[in-house]
Each structure stands twice: as structure tokens, then as C-alpha cells.
């Protein structure tokens, strides 16, 4: 019987290597990993792939691409989706996912954030554009197309540009690119170069980019400068839009450069000669010129007499005779007017103009037209507390003072004698062309009745009248033909009178005796209490009123004044012009 020798065990190191190799193979079979396999069979619309695992997997033929020829034995790279399907026990594979992962890894190797790429805009989508960069599709947000917002993106489809990769999204496996950042970078470089080259005083070509209330921003081929409204013209500019339009090309002067803050000040008027440098030669004082009203203020009108040159016509220089309250009452913007240069202030760039100086001053010949002593006719235009203004001709008024309205009555306000709009005759008393004043007299058109007053109203005679005014010191009695006499408070009654209105009232008929007639001062003093006196007592009262020695006339009280002060009482009462009717 033969005895077999036992078989010797394998070398331990070789066995370990075999185990490790087997473990390495097993370690690559994890979900999400890429593996290479061989097409082992094709059934219906699936290809079965042997990846060297304990079971095969399958991939839909649609994942190989439309029209792809797949045959047994082809080598393919697939992704393990799931090692064992719970229903079939097979490995779930995907060629499409493998292709996507391979493509994305190539993209990551090829592109990094910040790199510059060239691509063609494929189509417009919501929020932006799709850009084809080689075999990669990138997204260009609408805000990153241009430096300024773009409303319509369709015109960009089909155009090829350079883009900057601003984000690589691993989650969405796409690129986000920007054209704007490249443009801004280029502009920044260009702006820095241009800013360094700008010099004060040089003239540059520019294009109006934007207009505001205070000025305009001008693009100097890559950098903006501010053209302030005050530097647009030597004349007045109400709004920049009066002179400029967006897109307009013009030459501007560099006034200032702040390189640290990147600010540039520009001037347009500085590119032309300052017209004020020769203003005195061009518009000497006294020169008569034509102009156009360019602005109106409450105090006057600004008239442009040459491009960039404006003068002010103050309202006081509008007319020799008319009273102008506002410039707009006589002129409107755009009116063509004739003016005379009154003064020139070169330092402050001011010119004073006059419109009335283009016409003859009617006050220069007023004395010829209205000589003193002549009789004139006019219409009452207005009242003041001290008189009435009468229009003699357009713009020429004369004034009748209250003291020249009546020979006989004390006039407190012109409305007591006149009415606005009333036509009256008057006599010229004085003419002052320099002060533009004419004094008129109303009473001078009539004979002075005081020539006959002493005869008509002799001292001691009894007169009848009506109370016309009441004052604190007495009452005025209207006699015949509008002649007024004064009854002092002391001459109203034998009893003490504290207030005139307690004893008399306006319109009351009274009888009184004339106790004083002063033709020089045009005054008549009356006494009601004298009506009850004897002739001797009346004579004594008359003497007192005239300022003679006191003669006792009665033992009764005489009121608030003693007879010895009657003359002074009348004088004071007549001199008082501040009384008010009804007091």
C-alpha cells in the first residue's frame, strides 16, 4: 500500500500578496466610483457590462448616445451607481454619469476661477445667456454682460467674446462667467493711464454722458469729468439742458485733477475768451444797445446784450412815470428791448441797464407844461392821510395837501372833500422836477371867502349852524357856505362840561355868538353860552377872546377854562390838528 506524502503548505508571502490583490480589486467597487468594463452581452435595449465583480451590471443603450454602435467586447468606462440591486442582485451602472464626471474633471483641470476664456453666446435664458466654451456650457448672468444694465439680450446671441470665469460650481457642475469684469478691468487700466496724462489747462475732446441739475458728466474716452453749470457759459444758464444734450461731442478744458479721488473738473466757457475782459470798450456807459430778457426777478429784469453778457434793469429804471411793482408787470422772458448802459463793474461782472433812459424824461419839461399858477384838470387817483394825488397825465401826479382843500373848513382827511376817480380843477402851486413833485391847490381855484368873512360874521353877531365835528377841546360848527367856527368846550354851557359829546352831537342845530374873528389865521371863535348873556357880558367875553383885560361878566362857573385863558384856549384848539371826529 502506497503512502502519500502530505502536500506541503503554500508560501505564506505569496498567499498574502494574493489576498491584498483581491482586496484592492474589491476596494474599487464602491458606489460613485468609475470602473472599466467589457460588454459581455446585448439584450433588447440594454448592454451587460462585466466589471470583474461577482456579478455583472447593465446600462441602457440610450446612454451610449444616439446612433452609437455598441457590440460585445467593447471596452467602456461606467460609474457604479449601486453594487447590488435588491430585486435583481445585479450591479447598477451608468455610462452617462461616468461621462459627466469625466467631462467635469477635465473642466476642473482646464479652468480655474479668474481665468479668461473665449466663448460664443449660444442662447438667451431666464436671467442671462448660455455661453459655449469649447465643449463646456457656461452661464453669463444678465448683470455681467455690460458695465451698464442691458434690457434686450437677444442681440448678443451668436457673438463671440472673451469672458472671465468668476465661479466654478461643483454642486451644479457649471461655470459662471462675466464679460463686465473684463470690461471694467480694461477701463480701469485705461482710466489710470488717462488720469496720469491729464494736465490742468489742456483742452480735451469729450462726449456728454449724463446731465444733472448742477452740471453734466463728460466722458473723456474712458474717464468721466464734471462740467459744472457755472463753467458752461460766461452768461447765465438756468439748466444744463439749455446748452447740452446727451451724446453731444464738445471740447472742454481741464480745470482740476484730483488723482487720489479720481475726480476731474472741466470747463466749457474757458475754451473761449472772457467777454468781460473787453466789456468797457464794447459797452461804454451811455451806450444804447438791444438785448433779450433772459430772466425776471421781483426787483428787476436780466437782459442779455451779448453772448454771455447780461445786465440788470432795476424796476426803478423801467419808466420815468409809471410805478412798477414787479418786473413781470412790464416784461416777459424772451422780450426784445432797447436799453442804455448805466454803469459797468468789471471786477464783479455786473452791468446796470436802464429802459427809461431810451425815452425823454417827461419831468425835464414838466415846468413848461405845468407852470406855477396855471390851472390844471385831473382825476383823483389815490389818497394819503395828508392829501390826495391827482393824475395830470399818464405817470405825472400832483398832490393836493389837506391844507389846500378848503379856505374855510378844517379838513382832517381828503375823503371829506374828494372821492377817488373824481375829476377836479386845481392850481399849480409848486413844481420840483428833481424830486418829481408837483404841489396843487384846490381852494385856490375859488376866491378866498375870508376877504368878506369879517363883514358877513361880525364879532358879537348871532349865527346859526350845525355841528360838523366834535373834538376833545370843542366842536366845529358849519355856518353858511361851508365856513366853520369853533365852540371851545368852555363856551358850550354855563355849567361845567367834562366831555363835548355829552353836550353836543354831530348834526345838531345850534345858535351861537361870534366872539373872535382872526382873518390872518382864518379862524372864527363861537360861544353858545353867550346866547344867554347881556350885551355887556358879551362885550367882556369878546375882549377876553381877543386877549384883552379880564372884565367880570358873571359870577357863574364858566366850565373848564377861566375867562382869562379864553384867547389861549382858542389858539390851542385851532392849532390842534390831531383831533378825531366824534371824540
The pLDDT value recorded for residue 68 is 77
On whether both 324 and 373 belong to a single domain, the answer is no
240 vs 232: CA distance, rounded Å: 8
> How many domains does the chain fold into?
6
- Residue 550: pLDDT band with limits 50, 70, 90: very low
On whether both 368 and 347 belong to a single domain, the answer is no
Residue 23 lies inside a defined structural domain of this protein: no
Write the DSSP string, 19-30: HHHHHHHHHT-S
- Residue 576: pLDDT band with limits 50, 70, 90: low
On whether both 319 and 413 belong to a single domain, the answer is no
Write the DSSP string, 32-92: T-EEEEEEEEEETTEEEEE-SSSS-EEEEGGGG-TT----TT-EEEEEEEESS-TTT-SEE
In sequence order, what E strands does 442-508 have?
A: 462-471, 474-478, 484-488
Residue 148 lies inside a defined structural domain of this protein: yes
Question: Is residue 3's pLDDT more than 70?
Answer: no
Residue 334 lies inside a defined structural domain of this protein: yes
Write the DSSP string, 185-247: HHHHHHHHHHHHH--TT-EEEEEEEEE-SSEEEEE-SSSEEEEEGGGT-SS--S-GGGT--TT
CA atoms within 13 A on the CB side of 307: 7
pLDDT tens digits for range 521-544:
778 899 999 898 888 888 888 888
Question: pLDDT above 90 covers what percent of the chain?
Answer: 34
Give the domain-ending residue among 358, 393, 424: 358
Neighbours of 539 (CB within 10 A): 16
pLDDT tens digits for range 460-481:
889 999 998 898 899 999 888 7
On whether both 567 and 494 belong to a single domain, the answer is yes
Cβ–Cβ < 8 Å for 462, 531: yes
Query: CATH code at 519?
Result: 2.40.50.140
On whether both 422 and 468 belong to a single domain, the answer is no
Residue 105 lies inside a defined structural domain of this protein: yes
Cβ–Cβ < 8 Å for 484, 583: no
Domain hosting residue 241, numbered range: 207-271
- Over residues 411-421, the mean pLDDT reads 90
- Over residues 203-221, the mean pLDDT reads 90
Give the residue among 169, 542, 349, 355 at the shortest CA–CA distance from 550. Answer: 542
49 vs 92: CA distance, rounded Å: 10
Q: Which three cell numbers stand for residue 467?
A: 355841528
On whether both 122 and 179 belong to a single domain, the answer is yes
The pLDDT value recorded for residue 526 is 93
Residue 491 lies inside a defined structural domain of this protein: yes
The pLDDT value recorded for residue 301 is 92
- Over residues 74-85, the mean pLDDT reads 86
Question: Is residue 58's pLDDT more than 90?
Answer: no
Residue keyed to cell 483641470: 109
On whether both 248 and 309 belong to a single domain, the answer is no
308 vs 559: CA distance, rounded Å: 81
Question: Is residue 249's pLDDT more than 50?
Answer: yes
Query: 103 vs 138, which has greater pLDDT?
Result: 138
The pLDDT value recorded for residue 349 is 84
H or E, element range at 340: strand 336-345
On whether both 375 and 429 belong to a single domain, the answer is yes
Least confident among 13-17, 63-67, 186-190, 408-412: 13-17
Highest-confidence segment of 4-18, 330-344, 453-467, 478-492: 330-344
On whether both 426 and 466 belong to a single domain, the answer is no
On whether both 368 and 389 belong to a single domain, the answer is yes
pLDDT tens digits for range 287-340:
999 999 988 998 999 999 888 788 999 998 988 878 788 888 889 999 999 999
- Over residues 330-359, the mean pLDDT reads 90
- Phi/psi for 142 (5° steps) reads -60, -30
Give the domain-ending residue among 358, 375, 410: 358
On whether both 461 and 524 belong to a single domain, the answer is yes
Cβ–Cβ < 8 Å for 424, 387: no
The pLDDT value recorded for residue 343 is 92
Least confident among 1-5, 76-80, 374-378: 1-5
Residue 297 lies inside a defined structural domain of this protein: yes
Whole-model pTM?
A: 0.42
On whether both 371 and 425 belong to a single domain, the answer is yes
Question: Is residue 360's pLDDT more than 50?
Answer: yes
H or E, element range at 502: helix 500-503
Give the domain-ending residue among 336, 358, 380: 358
The pLDDT value recorded for residue 575 is 65
449 vs 481: CA distance, rounded Å: 9
Residue keyed to cell 464738445: 250
The pLDDT value recorded for residue 552 is 43
Q: Which three cell numbers stand for residue 579?
A: 383831533
pLDDT tens digits for range 392-407:
988 789 999 998 998 8
Residue 21 lies inside a defined structural domain of this protein: no
Mean pLDDT of the chain: 83
- Over residues 83-100, the mean pLDDT reads 82
- Residue 22: pLDDT band with limits 50, 70, 90: very low
In sequence order, what E strands does 83-179 have?
A: 91-94, 116-125, 128-133, 136-141, 160-169, 174-178
Least confident among 77-81, 276-280, 340-344: 276-280
Residue 512 lies inside a defined structural domain of this protein: yes
137 strand-pairing partners: 132
Amino acid at each position: 500500500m502506497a503512502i502519500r506524502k502530505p502536500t506541503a503548505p503554500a508560501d505564506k508571502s505569496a498567499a498574502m500578496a494574493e489576498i491584498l490583490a483581491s482586496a484592492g480589486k474589491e476596494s474599487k467597487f464602491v458606489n460613485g466610483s468609475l470602473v472599466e468594463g467589457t460588454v459581455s452581452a446585448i439584450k433588447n435595449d440594454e448592454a451587460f457590462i462585466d466589471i470583474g465583480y461577482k456579478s455583472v451590471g447593465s446600462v441602457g443603450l440610450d446612454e451610449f448616445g444616439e446612433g452609437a454602435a455598441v457590440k460585445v467586447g467593447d471596452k467602456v468606462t461606467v460609474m457604479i451607481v449601486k453594487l447590488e440591486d435588491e430585486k435583481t442582485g445585479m450591479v447598477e451602472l451608468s455610462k452617462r454619469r461616468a461621462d459627466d464626471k469625466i467631462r467635469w474633471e477635465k473642466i476642473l483641470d482646464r479652468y480655474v476661477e479668474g481665468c479668461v476664456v473665449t466663448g460664443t453666446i449660444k442662447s438667451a435664458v431666464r436671467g442671462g445667456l448660455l455661453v459655449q466654451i469649447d465643449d463646456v456650457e457656461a452661464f453669463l448672468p444678465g448683470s455681467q454682460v455690460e458695465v451698464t444694465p442691458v434690457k434686450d439680450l437677444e442681440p448678443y446671441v451668436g457673438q463671440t467674446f472673451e469672458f472671465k470665469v468668476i465661479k466654478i460650481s461643483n454642486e451644479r457642475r457649471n461655470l459662471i462667467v462675466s464679460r463686465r469684469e473684463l470690461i471694467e478691468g480694461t477701463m480701469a487700466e485705461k482710466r489710470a493711464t488717462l488720469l496720469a496724462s491729464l494736465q490742468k489747462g489742456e483742452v480735451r475732446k469729450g462726449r456728454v454722458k449724463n446731465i444733472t441739475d448742477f452740471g453734466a458728466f463728460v466722458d473723456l474716452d474712458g474717464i468721466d469729468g464734471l462740467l459744472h453749470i457755472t463753467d458752461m457759459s460766461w452768461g447765465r444758464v438756468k439748466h444744463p439742458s439749455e446748452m447740452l444734450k446727451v451724446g453731444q461731442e464738445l471740447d472742454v478744458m481741464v480745470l482740476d485733477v484730483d488723482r487720489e479721488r479720481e475726480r476731474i473738473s472741466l470747463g466749457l466757457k474757458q475754451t473761449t475768451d472772457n467777454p468781460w475782459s473787453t466789456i468797457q470798450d464794447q459797452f461804454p456807459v451811455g451806450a444804447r444797445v438791444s438785448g433779450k430778457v433772459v430772466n425776471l426777478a421781483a426787483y428787476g429784469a436780466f437782459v442779455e446784450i451779448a453772448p454771455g453778457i447780461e445786465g440788470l434793469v432795476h424796476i426803478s429804471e423801467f419808466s420815468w412815470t409809471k410805478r412798477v411793482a414787479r418786473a413781470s408787470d412790464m416784461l416777459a422772458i424772451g422780450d426784445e428791448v432797447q436799453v442804455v448802459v448805466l454803469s459797468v463793474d468789471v471786477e464783479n461782472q455786473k452791468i446796470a441797464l436802464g429802459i427809461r433812459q431810451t425815452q425823454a424824461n417827461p419831468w425835464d419839461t414838466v415846468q413848461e407844461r405845468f407852470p406855477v399858477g396855471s390851472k390844471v384838470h385831473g382825476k383823483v387817483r389815490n389818497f394819503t392821510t395828508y392829501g390826495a394825488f391827482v393824475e395830470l397825465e399818464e405817470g405825472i401826479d400832483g398832490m393836493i395837501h389837506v391844507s389846500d382843500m378848503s379856505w374855510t373848513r378844517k379838513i382832517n382827511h381828503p375823503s371829506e372833500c374828494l372821492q377817488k376817480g373824481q375829476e377836479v380843477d386845481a392850481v399849480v402851486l409848486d413844481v420840483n422836477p428833481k424830486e418829481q413833485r408837483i404841489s396843487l391847490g384846490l381852494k385856490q381855484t375859488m376866491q378866498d371867502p375870508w376877504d368878506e368873512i369879517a363883514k358877513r360874521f361880525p364879532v358879537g353877531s348871532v349865527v346859526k349852524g350845525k355841528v360838523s365835528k366834535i373834538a376833545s377841546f370843542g366842536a366845529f360848527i358849519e355856518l353858511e357856505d361851508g365856513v366853520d367856527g369853533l365852540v371851545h368846550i368852555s363856551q358850550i354851557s354855563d355849567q361845567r362840561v367834562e366831555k363835548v359829546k355829552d353836550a353836543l352831537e354831530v348834526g345838531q342845530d345850534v345858535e351861537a355868538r361870534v366872539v373872535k374873528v382872526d382873518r390872518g389865521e382864518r379862524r372864527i371863535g363861537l360861544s353858545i353860552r353867550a346866547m344867554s348873556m347881556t350885551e355887556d357880558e358879551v362885550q367882556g367875553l369878546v375882549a377876553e377872546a381877543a386877549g384883552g383885560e379880564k372884565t367880570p361878566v358873571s359870577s357863574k362857573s364858566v366850565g373848564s377854562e377861566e375867562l382869562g385863558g379864553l384867547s389861549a384856549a382858542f389858539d390851542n384848539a385851532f392849532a390842534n390838528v390831531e383831533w378825531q371826529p366824534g371824540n
